[in-house]
Chain A
Amino acid sequence: MNELWRRNIIRTLFVLFLQLILLKRVNLTLGDFNYVHLTIYAVIIALAPLKMPRALLIGLSFILGLTVDLFYDSLGVHAGAATFVAFIRHYVLILLMPAEGYKQAVLSPYWYGFSRFIMYMSLLLVIHLSVLYSLEAFSFVYFKEIILRTISSFMASLFLIMIGMLIFNPKY
């Protein structure tokens, strides 16, 4: 159990470091196409222990989002999106539940295979990004832009997350 928490905390710090120090500075602009933003910290919420009480996960996710917000100068936007992902994770887990139920501590590709993890991560990431860009635009007037940003950022971010999974292949 201690190992589980230790690993999660280390992962959180590592991903936050990547996100806030490196990925924030990555500028993937192709001419006028400025819609790709590498946003991977949803993986922290995705790989949080399955047994974690929902209210605690939601609360911690809010703090996580707030931390990201402090670096992105957008107080509340990431917090709102992260909170939403933490809330919706429960239902995504139910949706993707294997026949025998969840036996392991985390839903990682090591235990449940890459195809299920990609499905799980994609759902969470799409939800995360669409909520994030909706909150950022704060109006459905920019519907087209929100969709564009969500799709292009989703593909780039998922690619990055999968590379990370291949490298670390976390047990916990």
Chain B
Amino acid sequence: MRNLLYIIYRFSALVTFILLELLSVYLIINFNKSQGEIWSHSSNLLVEGVNQKVGLVEDFFTLKSKNDSLFRANAELLQTIINYRIFSDDKGGFQAYEQAISDSIPSYKLITAIVTSRTVNLRNNYITIDKGSAQGVKPGMGVITDNGVAGIVKSTTQKYASVILILNSQSRISCKVADKEYHGNLIWKSSDTRIMNLIDVPKHADINIGDRIVTSGYSISFPKSIPIGRITDYKIQGGVNSYNIEVTLDYDLSNVKHVYVVQFEDSEEKDNLLSSLNE
């Protein structure tokens, strides 16, 4: 008992000190707004720092699935925009679009695909994508990226498809000057992966540098109003009735990774009609 009392006496100062100091800190935190905020903030800083680090590692592992889901979500949005452009035009408004979708009038569908191999530095450039006939990809379908036109499907296998990029001497894309309805064909003559040439635009057309070039929608491959680029230069060659327009692409095809294959539900009918006209 004496020992216990002695110990209590011996440590009474320290115990009193610790208790009162804790009481002070308690008072500071509870009755002073700024200190209370700093305390909660500091503890958050510490905890949040750790949480953030863990989150970063976690993010890294979920990156792929997040990317995939974003990719699919993006495809759906693009698809909606494309179909909206087509159906809302004549009748007007969003109701017309919804009506058309509910009546299941043939519309555009996008198939997501990832580029498995590509060339961009040759005269005729191709990419290979990881979707094939099993997923509904057929030769002649257009391929677009988030930003614009990429190319046209040339051939397919069960699981893969080969796409002619617009950076290819065989590529001809039907285009028009946005809002002006002059249309021509987009070809690639230069070796620069960002510069395209628009030919067959009649020379009476009123065009300016900076005008946007979009797809015309006349072919079955692409819906209308998919962006391509801007006019950076134009000239009329002697003895020809059309402009030679230089178009700079808005996007870089040399690092394209995610693409969408444009599938028109009623393409066969339009295809037949076009081929019968050609005969």
Contacts and interface: CB of A to CB of B under 8 A. Distances in A.
Interface in B1-53: 12-17, 20-21, 23-32, 34-35, 38-39, 42
B28 A80 contact: yes
A57 B30 CA distance: 25
A76 B29 CA distance: 8
Q: Which of A53, A55, A77 has the most CB of B within 10 A?
A: A55
B16 A77 contact: no
Contact of A75 (B14, B15, B27, B39): B27
A84 B28 contact: no
A62 B38 contact: no
Interface of B: 12-17, 20-21, 23-32, 34-35, 38-39, 42
A124 B26 CA distance: 24
Contact of A54 (B12, B24, B29, B42): B12
B21 to A, nearest CB: 5
Given A59-B16, A87-B13, A87-B17, A79 B42 contact: no
Contacts of A165: none
A135 interface: yes
Contacts of A139: 38, 42
Interface of A: 53-55, 57-59, 62, 65, 69, 74-77, 79-80, 83-84, 86-87, 90, 135-139
Contacts of A90: 13
A77 B13 contact: no
B14 to A, nearest CB: 8
Nearest to A84: B21
Nearest to B21: A83
9 contacts: A55-B13, A59-B20, A62-B24, A76-B27, A79-B23, A79-B24, A83-B24, A87-B14, A138-B42
Given A75-B31, A80-B25, 17 more contacts: A55-B16, A59-B20, A69-B27, A74-B28, A74-B32, A76-B28, A76-B31, A76-B32, A77-B24, A79-B23, A79-B24, A84-B21, A87-B14, A137-B38, A138-B39, A139-B38, A139-B42
A135 B35 CA distance: 8
B249 to A, nearest CB: 49
Contacts of A62: 20, 23-24
A90 B17 CA distance: 12
Nearest to A81: B24
Contacts of B30: 76
A138 B24 contact: no
A76 B16 contact: no
